[in-house]
Amino acid sequence: MSATQPVPASAPVIGLVHATLAAVQPMVAAFRRHAPDVTLLHFLDEGLLPLVNRSGLTPATVGELERLVERAAASGATGVLLTCSAYSPAVPEVQSHFAIPVVSVDEAMLRRALEHGARIGVVATVEAAGPTTANLLRDYAIEVGRTIEVSVRVVAEAFAALKSGDEERHDALVREQIVALLPACDVVVLAQISIARALTGAPAYAKPVLTSPEVSIRALLSRLLAPVA
């Protein structure tokens, strides 16, 4: 077990709720690095993301999301991680219906981004993820009494390239947006875990570029390790 995050004596079972197949491998790789003793259960519905892109998080889409979480809980999950940032605004509502922890993939990352400065860049490859991430950043900034500026770059062609198997083009397009944002930003966040792969083999950047897999794993395991009141 990595020293960065202990696992309880009875290792947890984590349900991962995915909106795209592209999120599965980065999340599995992150758990292997940071919490290899955890058992993972995967729940995927690629039909939800187009609905969220078109209409937002309607009661119907949130209901479908809750059904996936319910399946995870019924399958023995002791905690659930939603791996799509487009779902993040629904976490409080979803959590209210379940006794086990339900954590968004990006909250811990976005709160950490606030520690790096007031000018924050966001790179997304899914249309809904860009504004969703920006709005969450502003909400978290208000909570701590901060004023921030958020610059968003949505590069939908990168997601299309990844879906078609052109990983090299995906990574290159994401890196272009990082380089474009950094001069005017204190930190850049990658809005989806599927984008994290673009940092592998990338040159070192002069400013922080944050991804969500590791910090979201730590956040969820911390919830599971927290003493019961």
pLDDT tens across 138-163, in order?
A: 999 999 999 999 999 999 999 999 98
41 found inside a domain: yes
pTM score of the predicted model:
0.74
98 found inside a domain: yes
Are 116 and 205 within one domain? yes
How far apart CA 186 and CA 71 sit, in angstroms, is 40
128 found inside a domain: yes
Are 39 and 82 within one domain? yes
Domain interval for residue 177: 108-211
Are 140 and 200 within one domain? yes
Are 174 and 123 within one domain? yes
CATH number of residue 196's parent domain = 3.40.50.1860
Which stretches of the chain score pLDDT less than 70? 1-10, 226-229
CA distances from 201 to 75, 187, 188, 205, 226 (A): 37, 19, 17, 12, 36
* Contact call for residues 59 and 93 (beta carbons, < 8 A): no
DSSP string of 141-170? HHHTT---EEEEEE-HHHHHHHHTT-HHHH
Q: How many domains does the chain have?
A: 2
pLDDT at position 149, please?
Answer: 97
7 found inside a domain: no
Are 68 and 87 within one domain? yes
155 found inside a domain: yes
pLDDT at position 1, please?
Answer: 32
* Contact call for residues 124 and 153 (beta carbons, < 8 A): yes
List the Cα angle 162/165/171 in 5-degree steps. 45
Are 17 and 97 within one domain? yes
Are 148 and 98 within one domain? no
62 found inside a domain: yes
Are 101 and 21 within one domain? yes
pLDDT at position 228, please?
Answer: 45
199 found inside a domain: yes
* Contact call for residues 118 and 187 (beta carbons, < 8 A): no
Are 179 and 195 within one domain? yes
pLDDT at position 76, please?
Answer: 96
3 found inside a domain: no
